[in-house]
Structure 1
């Protein structure tokens, strides 16, 4: 049997990493920060040593998971940030896309929940850069849409309310196994009709 090529090894590594990331997200939803590498290995149906080969501890694994989630979050809402239409329509589209992504991609939900909790479960300052990037790439562009679209006196407060509502709705649906039942359009319409009427 001939040895594997570099391309084959890279493909196997990428497949393993995806497998580990998906398993880590599932394990985190079940156990939170209490998850261990063995929990991830079990979910991924891989040996403990295989997962440990890629990640020496759960914090390194979760850090990669959250950075990947940030990239996927940005991709998910990019069309709202760069699309046509007024700022209010963009903010609504952004919220709709973000909620859909949270429901279907647990790592994005974990990112939003972790940011809203200010990383308080994680030791040290290793997530400062991730938080700063989240602010720059996701949060501040959304605040700008709110500021322009609603002429809000406190766009940060409105943005926080929206993010909190999206996280809360996703939490309820994930933990009650209702991911396919959530009314994304109804939730976003309700949020924005409430914010607009309050700002008038």
Structure 2
């Protein structure tokens, strides 16, 4: 049997990393910051040594998980930011896409919740750069849409209300195993009709 090529090794590495990150997200939903590398190896159906080869501790693992989730979040909301429509419609589309992604990909929900909690479970300020990037790439674009399409008065407060609502709805559905039943359209319509009524 011939040895694997560099490309094959890289493909295997990529597959393993994705497997580990997906398992880590599922374990985090169950255990929060109490998650351990051993829990992730069991969930991923990989040996402890295999997971430890990639991640020496849970904070390194969670850091990769959250950076990957930020990339996924940016890709998810990009269509809403670039479509040719009103700012209000873009803000609704942004929220709809983000809520849908939270349901499909637990790591995106974990990112939003962790940012909302200001990373208070994590030691030191190792996530300050990630927090800054989230603010710049995700939070501020929504603030700009709200300022232009809903109200120039306290758009940051309105954006926080939207993110808080998306996190809350997702958490309720994840923890009650109702993800498939979640009415994304109805939830986003309710959030935005409430915001617009308040602004009038």
TM tier relative to shorter chain: over 0.9
Does structure 2 conserve the Cα–Cα contact (< 8 Å) formed by 1:152 and 1:199?
A: no
Task: Figure out how many residues of one structure are paired with residues of the other and give that number.
Answer: 200
Q: Distance in 2 between matches of 1:153 and 1:145?
A: 12
Q: Distance in 2 between matches of 1:155 and 1:7?
A: 47
Residue number in structure 1 paired with 2:81: 81
Q: Aligned-pair distance for 1:178?
A: 0.2
Q: Aligned-pair distance for 1:151?
A: 2.1
Matches within 5 A, 1:95-134: 95-134=95-134
TM-score, with length taken from structure 2? 0.99
Q: Aligned-pair distance for 1:45?
A: 0.2
Residue number in structure 1 paired with 2:94: 94
Please state whether the residue corresponding to 2:179 is helix, strand or coil.
coil
TM-score, with length taken from structure 1? 0.99
Please state whether the residue corresponding to 2:180 is helix, strand or coil.
coil
Structure 2 gaps, min length 5: none
Structure 1 gaps, min length 5: none
Matches within 5 A, 1:42-191: 42-191=42-191
Is 1:7 aligned to 2:25, yes or no?
Answer: no
Q: Distance in 1 between matches of 2:152 and 2:104?
A: 31
CA deviation profile, 1:4-63 (whole Å, cap 9, x unmatched): 111111011001001001000000000000000000000000000000000000000000
Residue number in structure 2 paired with 1:17: 17
CA deviation profile, 1:142-199 (whole Å, cap 9, x unmatched): 0000000012411011000000000000000000000010110001001101100101
